[in-house]
Amino acid sequence: MELRKYEKQNISPDVPDEWFVPLIKRNSEADVVVRPSLSYWKDSWYRLLKNKLAMAGMVFLVFLTILAIFGPMISPHSIETQKLTMQNLPPSSKFWFGTDDLGRDVFTRTCYGARISLFVGLMAALIDFLIGVVYGGVAGYKGGRTDNFMMRFVEILYGLPYLLVVILVMVVLGPGLTTIIIALSITGWVGMARIVRGQVLQIKNYEFVLASKTFGTKTARIIRKNLLPNTMGPIIVQMTLTIPSAIFAEAFLSFIGLGIQAPHASWGVMANDGLSTILSGYWWRLFFPTLFISLTMFAFNVLGDGLQDALDPKLRR
Amino acid sequence: MKTYFFKRLIAMIITLWLIITGTFFLMHSVPGSPFNEERTTNEQIQKNLESYYQLDKPLLVQYGNYLMALVKFDLGPSIKKSSQTVNDLLGRGFPVSFELGFYTLIVAIISGITLGVVAALRHNGIIDYLSMSIAVLGISIPNFVLATFLIQQLAVNIPIFPVATWSSPKHMVLPILALATGPMAIIARLTRTSMLEVLTQDYIKTAKAKGLSPVKIVFKHALRNALLPVVTVLGSLAASILTGTFVIEKIFAIPGMGKYFVDSINNRDYPVIMGTTIFYSAILIFMLLLVDLAYGVLDPRIKLHKKEAK
Amino acid sequence: MEKILQIKDLHVSFSTYGGEVKAVRGVSFDLHKGETLAIVGESGCGKSVTSQSIMRLIPEPPGKIHGGEIIFKNNDLIKLKEQEMRKIRGANISMIFQDPMTALNPTITIGEQIMEGIVQHEKLTRTQAKRVALAMLKLVGIPNPELRLKQYPHQFSGGMRQRIVIAMALVCRPDVLIADEPTTALDVTIQAQILELFKDIQKKTGVSIILITHDLGVVAQVADRIAVMYAGRIVELGTRREIFYQPQHPYTKGLLQSVPRLDIEMEELIPIPGTPPDLFSPPPGCAFAARCPFAMEVCKRVYPFKTQKSNKHHVDCWLQDERAQKLASS
C-alpha cells in the first residue's frame, strides 16, 4: 500500500519526456584533465615571478652587478687617487657618495667593494657546490660504510664554528682575496654535502632510479640524468643562501682587519675606516658601505627564500 | 641514560682533542718566528725569548708539553703582553663576555619565540608580514653594521646611550641589541615555520575536538612541539653569538675575551689565539651537550630510545 | 526513534587559488539515538568535510558553511558562538581522526591527554579525573592502565593508540561520536578488533556513531544505516540491508561491484570508470552522469528528485522516473 504511494511521485512534471534518451558520451569526457599541467621548472618560475619581495631582490642584484662592472667606468675618479685637498667631503654632484680621509671617492670605492663582495660570494658558492655535490653525491649514492665514514667527517667539521675556523685559517694564510675564498671553502661545503646526500638518499630508492638501474645504466649517467635534476631545487636554494653568508664573512674579516687590505676597497674595510670617524660626523663614510652590505645580503636572502618557496614541490598547487 | 652521557663525554673529549691538535699545528705552521717583527731585539735576546717560550724545541715536544699543561688548565704565557698568561686574560675577559653572550642569548630566545609564535598565529596577517620583514632584515643586516648604526643613531645623534665600555646596565643595551637581532630573527623564522607545521597536525585537531580553548591548545599542545627544532639550532646560534662578540666587543670597547682575541690576531700573539680558540671550542662543545640534554627533556621519544639501548 | 542530530541542507565550500570548491552541496540526514550511521564515498566526496562541519572544525577561512542547519538538542550548531561550541566539542559530540599515529600529542603523557578533556568539561578534581580516565582505559581494553597512564604515545602500538583515541573521545560520555576513517591506518586484524570495540562501546554507553569510511567491508560489519555520498551530495541512504541487497543508485551499485565480497557470488570486480567531477564548477545535473553507464540526457541537465523506496530508504536518481523505466524496458 505504502509503496504504491511512493511510486506515484515518480514523475517529475517540469522535465520534458524527450530528455529521457540515453546520453551519448564521448569516451574521454569522464577523464578530462581540468587544469593544464606545467612543467616543474616553469611552474616554479611563475611562482617566483609572483613573489614581489624576491623579485625586488633580483632587480637589486642585477643593478648591483651592473654597478660593479660599469660603476668604476662611469665614475670620473679612480679608486686609488688620493686628493689630500679634498678630504672628508660630504656627498655632492662631484663626489656622489663623498670622499674619505685620503680624499678618495667613496662611490668608486663602493663599486669596487661590490666587485669584491660579489666575487667572493659567487666563488664561495661555486666551490661549495663543486665539493659539496661530489662529496655528498658519492656518500649518498654509495651508502653503507662509505657513507657512514664520510658523514662522520662531515659531522666533525659541521660542529666547528664556521667563522672561528675561517679566522684561524686567515691567521695562518695571511690576508688577501684568494686566502679569504680558500678559508671560506674549507668548511663551507659541508652544508651543501649534507643536503645533497640527504636528497640522493631519498631519491635513490625511487622507482624510476631503480628502473634505470635494472636497464644496466652506468652510475655516472644515473647521477647525471636522474639524480641531479631532482636534487637541483634544494641545491639552488642552498647556493643562494651561501652567497650572503660568504659576503658577510668577507665583510666581517675585513672589518676586524683580517681580510682585504689597502689599497683595495672592500665594504668591510670601508665600514671599519668609517666607524673610526663616526664622532667627527662623516656619516657618509660609514653609511654607504654598510647600506650596500645590508641591501646585498637582504636581496640574496629574500631571493633565496623566494626560490625555496617556489621550488618546494610540497607547495605546488 | 648514564652510558649515553659517558659516550657523549668521550666524544666531546675526542672532538676537543682534534680541535686542539688542529689549532696547534695550524698555528705552528705559520712561517717565521713571532719575534721577527720586533726588529729592535738582537739575535741573543730573540734566542732567549724562543727558549723561554720553548720555541727552540722540536714541534712534537712542544705539542706534548702543551697538552700536558692543558690538562692542568694552563694555556701558557702570552707573547706580546709580557708577564701575562693566557689564563690571566681569559680570567679577566670571560666574565664580561659571558655576561654579554648570556644576556644576548636570553633576549634572542624570548623575543624570537614570541615573534615567531605571534606571526604563526596571525598567519598571512599584517603582524605576520611585519614580524617576518623584521626577521629578514635582522638576518640580512650584519651585527657590526647594526652596531655602528645604533651608535650613530642612539649614541651620537640622540645621545640616549653611552658609546663604549661595560660598566652599567645602560652600557649593555646597545651591544646586546646589536648582537641579539640576528639570532632573534633566525629563531623567529624557525619558530614560525615549525609552529605553522605543528598547527596542521592531527593532534591539534584532536585537542580542538576536545573543546580546549585556543590558549590551551597553543601553549600546551603546539608550543612545546614547535620548539623542538628551535632547540636544535641553539648550539649553532651560540656559536654565531660567540663569533659576534669579537666585533661587538671591539666596536663598543668592551674588555671581553673577544676583544683580546681580535687584538691577539692583529698582534700575532699565537699562544693567546690558540688558547682562546680552544677555550671557545670547549664552551661550544659544552653548549651542544646542554642542547642535547634539553632536547631529551623536551621530547620524551628520545628517552625511550636510550632505555631500549640499555 | 529519537533523533539526536539533524543535518538539513548543509552547504560548505572552500575558497582556494583556483576558485571556490563546493565541497558539500546540500546534505541532509538524521542521526538516531544509539545507531551507527556510515557515510561512504570516494575520497574528496565531502564526507570528511560534512563531519568536520558538525564539529565546526572547518578552518575558516578558507572554509565556509554557507547554509543549512545542524540541529543538536534544539540548538542550531551553525549559529552557536565559538565559546558555546567549545562546550559541546568533546562533551556532547566527540571526534576521532584517521591516523592514531598522529592524533596523539607525542610530548604529553596519554593520561594527561585523556584527563584534560574531563577537566575541561566537568568540575572534577585531578584524582577524580584520573579515576575516570582509568575506567575509560579499562573500557577500551588497555591492560595495566595505571602504568599506561604515565606513558607517552610512542610507547603504544597502532591499535593501542586507536583505543586510547577512542577512550579520549568517550571520556565525557558524549551523545555523538564521529569517527573519520578510524580503521584505515590499521592492520586488517587490528581493524576487526577496533570495530568490535565500537560495537561493544555502543552497547555499553548507547552513544550514536557517525562512521566516515570508504571501506565497504567496515560498513558491512558495524553500520545500521548507510549514506552514500558523491560529489558533495548524499545520493542514496538506507539501512545496511537495503543498501547492500537493493542498491538503487548506479553509483552505489558500482561501489558494491568494485569491492570483493564473500557473501554473494560475484563474477568479477568492476571498477567505476573515470574520476569524480571537479567541484570548482560542478555540473548542474547529476554529478555521476559522466561516469554512469545508464546516463540519460536529463541526468546532465537537471538534478534528480528524491525518491523514497521505503520509509528508511531514499535515492536521488532519474532512473526512478517512470519514463526512464519505460526506456529501459523498451
Inter-chain residue contact C86 with B211, CB threshold 8 Å: yes
Q: Which residue of C has its CA nearest to B202?
A: C103
Ordered DSSP codes for A158-219:
HHS-HHHHHHHHHHHH-SSHHHHHHHHHHHHHHHHHHHHHHHHHHHHTSHHHHHHHHTT--H
Inter-chain residue contact A15 with C298, CB threshold 8 Å: yes
Chains with ≥3 CB–CB distances under 8 Å to C: A, B
Mean of pLDDT values over A26-37? 47
What pLDDT score does A313 carry?
59
User: CATH number for the domain including B197?
Assistant: 1.10.3720.10
**Quick check: A34 contacting B, CB < 8 Å?**
no
Closest to A29 (Cβ–Cβ): which among C290, C294, C310? C290
CATH no. for C3-92+174-329: 3.40.50.300
> Lowest-confidence range among B24-28, B291-295, C324-328?
C324-328
Closest to A23 (Cβ–Cβ): which among C17, C273, C297? C297
Closest to B246 (Cβ–Cβ): which among A244, A256, A286? A256
Closest to C154 (Cβ–Cβ): which among B202, B207, B301? B301
Other beta carbons within 10 angstroms of residue C254's beta carbon come to: 19
Q: How confident is the prediction for chain A on average, in pLDDT?
A: 77
| Residue from A186, A267, A290, A296 whose CB has the most chain B CBs within 10 Å, to mutate | A290
> Lowest-confidence range among A262-266, A278-282, C143-147, C173-177?
A278-282
Q: Which residue of C has its CA nearest to B299?
A: C107
Inter-chain residue contact C290 with A12, CB threshold 8 Å: no
Residue A126 pLDDT grade (very low, low, confident, very high; cuts 50, 70, 90): very high
What pLDDT score does A7 carry?
43
The residue extents of the domains of chain C are 3-92+174-329
Inter-chain residue contact C57 with B209, CB threshold 8 Å: yes
What pLDDT score does A10 carry?
55
**pLDDT, tens only, A212-245:** 667 666 666 766 666 666 677 788 888 888 888 8
Residue A207 pLDDT grade (very low, low, confident, very high; cuts 50, 70, 90): low
E-only strand ranges, chain C: 3-16, 19-32, 36-40, 63-72, 75-76, 93-96, 176-180, 208-213, 225-230, 233-239, 306-310, 313-316
Chains with ≥3 CB–CB distances under 8 Å to B: A, C
Closest to C278 (Cβ–Cβ): which among A6, A34, A317? A34
The larger pLDDT score, comparing residue B224 to residue B124, is at B224
Closest to C296 (Cβ–Cβ): which among A19, A30, A35? A19
Q: Which residue of C has its CA nearest to A26?
A: C290
Q: Provide, as residue numbers in chain C, all residues whose Cβ is less than 8 Å from the Cβ of B225.
A: 105-107
Residue B53 pLDDT grade (very low, low, confident, very high; cuts 50, 70, 90): low
Q: Provide, as residue numbers in chain B, all residues whose Cβ is less than 8 Å from the Cβ of A172.
A: 26-27, 29-30
> Lowest-confidence range among B28-42, C58-72, C116-130, C271-285?
B28-42
**Closest by Cα among B182, B191, B293, B286 to B243:** B182
Size of interface A-B (CB pairs under 8 A): 102
Q: Report ipTM (2 d.p.).
A: 0.81
For the CA atoms of A302, A303, A304, A305, the dihedral, rounded to the nearest 10 degrees, stands at 50
Provide the CB-side half-sphere exposure for C230 (13 A, CA).
28
Listed in sequence order, the residues at least 6 apart from A240 whose beta carbon sits closer than 8 Å to its beta carbon are A125, A300, A303, A304, A307
Percent of chain C with pLDDT over 70: 95
Q: How confident is the prediction for chain C on average, in pLDDT?
A: 83
Q: How confident is the prediction for chain B on average, in pLDDT?
A: 81
Residue A30 pLDDT grade (very low, low, confident, very high; cuts 50, 70, 90): very low
Sheet holding C208-213, edge to edge: C93-96, C176-180, C208-213, C36-40, C225-230, C233-239, C313-316, C306-310
Output the CA torsion sign for A109, A110, A111, A114.
Answer: positive
Residue B99 lies inside a defined structural domain of this protein: yes
Q: Which residue of B has its CA nearest to A247?
A: B142
Q: Provide, as residue numbers in chain B, all residues whose Cβ is less than 8 Å from the Cβ of C121.
A: 211
Q: Is the pLDDT of residue C264 over 70?
A: no
What pLDDT score does B112 carry?
93
> Lowest-confidence range among B104-108, C170-174, C320-324?
C320-324
Number of helical (H) and strand (E) elements in chain B, helices listed first: 13, 0
Inter-chain residue contact A20 with C290, CB threshold 8 Å: no
Distance from the Cα of C318 to chain A's closest Cα (Å) equals 9
Residue B30 lies inside a defined structural domain of this protein: no
Q: Is the pLDDT of residue A36 over 60?
A: no
The residue type at A309: D
Pairs from A215-223 (Cβ < 8 Å, separation ≥ 24): A219/A141, A223/A137, A223/A141
Q: Provide, as residue numbers in chain C, all residues whose Cβ is less than 8 Å from the Cβ of B202.
A: 97-99, 102-103
Closest to C105 (Cβ–Cβ): which among B203, B209, B298? B203
Other beta carbons within 10 angstroms of residue A284's beta carbon come to: 22
Distance from the Cα of B250 to chain C's closest Cα (Å) equals 43
**pLDDT, tens only, B198-229:** 888 888 888 888 888 888 888 888 888 888 88
Instruction: Give, for B184, the enclosing helix (H) or strand (E).
Output: helix B169-199
What pLDDT score does C230 carry?
87
Mean of pLDDT values over C291-295? 80
Q: Provide, as residue numbers in chain B, all residues whose Cβ is less than 8 Å from the Cβ of C86.
A: 211-213
Q: Is the pLDDT of residue A211 over 60?
A: yes
How far is Cα B101 from Cα B118, in angstroms, rounded to an integer?
25
Residue B122 lies inside a defined structural domain of this protein: yes
Ordered DSSP codes for A286-317:
HHHHHHHHHHHHHHHHHHHHHHHHHH-GGG--
Most trustworthy range by pLDDT among A195-199, A256-260, A295-299, B248-252:
A295-299
Residue C47 pLDDT grade (very low, low, confident, very high; cuts 50, 70, 90): confident
Cα(first)–Cα(last) distance of chain B, in Å? 8
Closest to C300 (Cβ–Cβ): which among A6, A10, A23? A23
The number of residues in chain B equals: 310
The residue type at A12: S
Q: Is the pLDDT of residue A35 over 60?
A: no
What pLDDT score does A197 carry?
86
Q: Which residue of C has its CA nearest to A1?
A: C310
Residue C266 pLDDT grade (very low, low, confident, very high; cuts 50, 70, 90): low
Cell triple for B300: 620524551
How many domains are contained in chain B?
1
Most trustworthy range by pLDDT among A18-27, A54-63, B230-239, B279-288:
A54-63
Give me the helix-helix angle, B169-199 and B86-121, nearest 10°: 40
What pLDDT score does B58 carry?
78
Size of interface B-C (CB pairs under 8 A): 79
What pLDDT score does A229 carry?
66
Inter-chain residue contact B136 with A298, CB threshold 8 Å: yes
Residue B70 lies inside a defined structural domain of this protein: no
The residue type at C32: H
Listed in sequence order, the residues at least 6 apart from C255 whose beta carbon sits closer than 8 Å to its beta carbon are C40, C216, C228, C272
Q: Which residue of C has its CA nearest to B123?
A: C61
Closest to B277 (Cβ–Cβ): which among A156, A164, A274? A164
Percent of chain A with pLDDT over 90: 7
**pLDDT, tens only, B92-103:** 888 888 889 999
- Residues of chain B whose beta carbon is less than 8 angstroms from a beta carbon of chain C are 201-203, 205-213, 216, 220-221, 224-225, 228, 298-301, 304
**Quick check: A2 contacting C, CB < 8 Å?**
yes
Inter-chain residue contact C324 with A20, CB threshold 8 Å: yes
Give the structural domain span for B250: 94-268
What pLDDT score does A62 carry?
93
Distance from the Cα of A315 to chain C's closest Cα (Å) equals 12
What pLDDT score does B103 carry?
92
Q: Is the peptide bond prior to A263 cis by the omega test (within 30 degrees of 0)? A: yes
Inter-chain residue contact B239 with A274, CB threshold 8 Å: no
